[in-house]
C-alpha cells in the first residue's frame, strides 16, 4: 500500500472517529450470552459453567445467560447469527463458523496442557473385553463418531483414516454419530458400537482419564471406570480449541473478559477446572492463524463432499 494511500486511510478513520464520538461512547451491552456445546448432559454443562455466570456478571454488570445447545451445530449457528457473545469451541467448530461467517467471531484464548502443549488428541476406545486392541482390529466393526462438527470426534480421525487409505464405508461395518462425546463413549460401553473416538489431553494417567478431556470428565462424574476401556488409536496432536468472542462486541468488553479469564487460572482454580473440564496449566493468547490448518482441512472435507 502506497504511503499516500496509507495517510488517506488514516485520515478517513480519524475523521470518522471525530464525527461520531458520542455513538462510540454510548455503545453498551445489556446482557452477555454464553454458548455451550452439546455432547454432555445439559444439567452437568450448566453446573460446570455457572461459575462463569457469577464471574462475568460481577465483571460486566449485566445479566449473563447460558445457552446449552443440543449439539455442536446449535452453538455454531448461534455464533454465526450474532446471538451469542462467547463460547468455547473445538477447532473444527471454529472453522465451521469462520468458513461461512468470517466476521462473526474471533478466537482470543486457548488452553495449555500441564506438559506445556497447546494441543490434545482424538483417541479411539473400545471395551476392554472386546478383544479389540488396534485400529486393524476395528476392520469390519461398528464405528462411532461424536458429532459431525467435532474436531476430535469426527474431522481429524476421518481425515487421518483417509490419509491411511481407509475408506469409512468400506473399512468399518457401519459408522454412526452418537450425538456427542459423552454419548459416544457410552455407546461403546453399552455395545452399540465396537469402537468410538473422543477427546483427551493424552497427558497423565489412563486410569484417571488423563488430565483433561471427555474421558476425565466422565471419570470425575463416576460415569466410566477406565479399566473397562482400552485405547486402540491416537491421532496426531490437534490444536486446542479456542475461546471465541463475538467480533462486534465493544473492545472494552472483550478486553475485560479476556483479562478475567486469564486471572481465573490463579484466583479461582475450581472454576478453571470446572469450566475447562480438567487440569490445565494456563490460558494462552491465540488468533485465527493458530487454526489455519484445521480450517483448511475442514474446507477440503466440504469440497470433497460436494464433489461426490
- Residue of 6 and 49 predicted with greater confidence: 49
Q: How far is CA 196 from the centre of its chain?
A: 18
Distance (Å) of CA 84 to CA 4, 16, 75, 268: 40, 28, 8, 24
| Angle between helical axes of 269-276 and 251-267 (0-180°, round to 10) | 110
**pLDDT value at residue 25:** 44
- Residues 29-68 have pLDDT tens digits of 999 999 999 877 889 999 999 999 999 999 999 999 999 9
Residue 307 has pLDDT above 90, yes or no: no
Would the pLDDT of 119 be above 90? yes
Q: How far is CA 218 from CA 53, 199, 280, in A?
A: 23, 12, 17
**pLDDT value at 191 more than 50:** yes
- pLDDT cut 70: percent of the chain above it: 91
What per-residue confidence (pLDDT) applies to 39?
75
Could you count the other beta carbons within 10 Å of the beta carbon of residue 164? 10
Q: Which of 90, 246, 244, 242 is nearest to 156 (CA)?
A: 90
CA distance 267 to 94: 28
Express each pLDDT in 157-166 by its tens digit.
Answer: 999 999 999 9
Angle at 75 between CA 69 and CA 77, to 5 degrees: 125
- For residues 178 and 196, the answer to whether their CB atoms sit within 8 Å is yes
CB atoms within 10 A of CB 185: 25
Residue 21's pLDDT is what?
42
Where would I find the beta strands (DSSP E) of 146-246? 174-177, 195-200, 229-234, 238-239, 243-246
Spell out where the chain has E strands.
32-36, 64-68, 86-88, 105-112, 119-127, 142-145, 174-177, 195-200, 229-234, 238-239, 243-246, 282-285
Binned at pLDDT 50, 70 and 90, residue 308 comes out as confident
Report DSSP letters for 171-194, one per residue.
HSSEEEE-SSHHHHHHHHHTTSSS
Residue 24's pLDDT is 43
Report pLDDT digits (tens) over 192-213: 999 999 999 999 999 999 999 9
Spatial CA neighbour of 53 closest among 74, 68, 40: 68
Taking the C-alpha atoms of residue 228 and residue 115, their distance in angstroms, rounded to an integer, is 26
β 105-112/282-285 pair status? antiparallel
Tens of pLDDT, residues 173-189: 999 999 999 999 999 99
pLDDT in tens, 212-252: 999 999 999 999 999 999 999 999 999 999 999 999 999 99
**CB neighbours of residue 47 within 10 Å:** 11
Q: Are strands 32-36 and 142-145 parallel, antiparallel or unpaired?
A: unpaired
Amino acid at each position: 500500500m502506497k504511503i499516500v494511500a496509507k495517510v488517506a486511510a488514516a485520515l478517513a478513520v480519524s475523521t470518522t472517529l471525530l464525527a461520531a464520538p458520542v455513538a462510540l461512547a454510548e455503545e453498551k451491552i445489556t446482557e452477555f450470552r454464553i454458548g455451550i456445546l452439546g455432547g454432555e448432559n445439559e444439567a452437568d454443562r450448566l453446573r460446570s459453567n455457572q461459575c462463569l455466570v457469577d464471574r462475568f456478571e460481577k465483571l460486566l454488570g449485566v445479566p449473563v445467560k447460558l445457552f446449552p445447545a443440543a449439539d455442536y451445530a446449535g452453538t455454531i449457528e448461534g455464533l454465526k447469527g450474532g446471538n451469542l457473545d462467547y463460547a468455547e469451541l473445538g477447532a473444527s467448530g471454529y472453522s465451521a463458523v469462520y468458513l461461512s461467517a468470517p466476521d462473526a467471531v474471533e478466537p482470543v484464548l486457548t488452553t495449555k496442557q500441564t506438559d506445556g502443549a497447546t494441543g490434545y488428541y482424538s483417541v479411539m476406545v473400545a471395551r476392554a473385553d472386546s478383544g479389540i486392541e488396534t485400529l486393524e482390529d476395528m476392520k469390519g466393526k461398528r464405528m462411532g463418531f461424536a458429532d459431525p462438527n467435532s474436531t476430535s470426534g469426527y474431522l481429524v480421525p476421518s481425515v487421518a483414516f483417509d490419509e491411511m487409505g481407509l475408506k469409512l464405508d468400506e473399512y468399518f461395518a457401519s459408522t454412526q454419530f452418537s450425538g456427542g462425546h459423552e454419548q459416544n463413549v457410552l455407546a461403546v460401553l453399552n455395545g452399540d458400537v465396537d469402537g468410538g473416538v473422543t477427546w483427551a489431553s493424552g497427558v497423565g494417567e489412563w486410569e484417571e482419564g488423563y488430565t483433561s478431556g471427555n474421558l476425565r470428565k466422565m471419570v470425575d462424574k463416576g460415569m466410566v471406570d477406565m479399566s473397562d476401556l482400552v485405547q486402540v488409536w491416537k491421532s496426531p496432536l490437534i490444536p486446542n480449541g479456542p475461546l471465541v468472542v463475538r467480533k462486534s462486541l465493544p473492545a472494552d468488553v472483550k478486553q475485560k473478559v479476556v483479562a478475567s479469564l486469564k486471572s481465573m487460572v490463579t484466583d479461582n482454580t475450581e472454576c478453571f477446572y470446572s469450566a475447562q473440564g480438567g487440569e490445565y496449566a494456563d490460558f494462552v493468547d491465540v488468533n485465527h492463524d493458530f487454526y489455519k490448518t484445521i480450517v483448511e482441512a475442514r474446507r477440503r472435507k466440504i469440497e470433497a463432499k460436494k464433489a461426490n
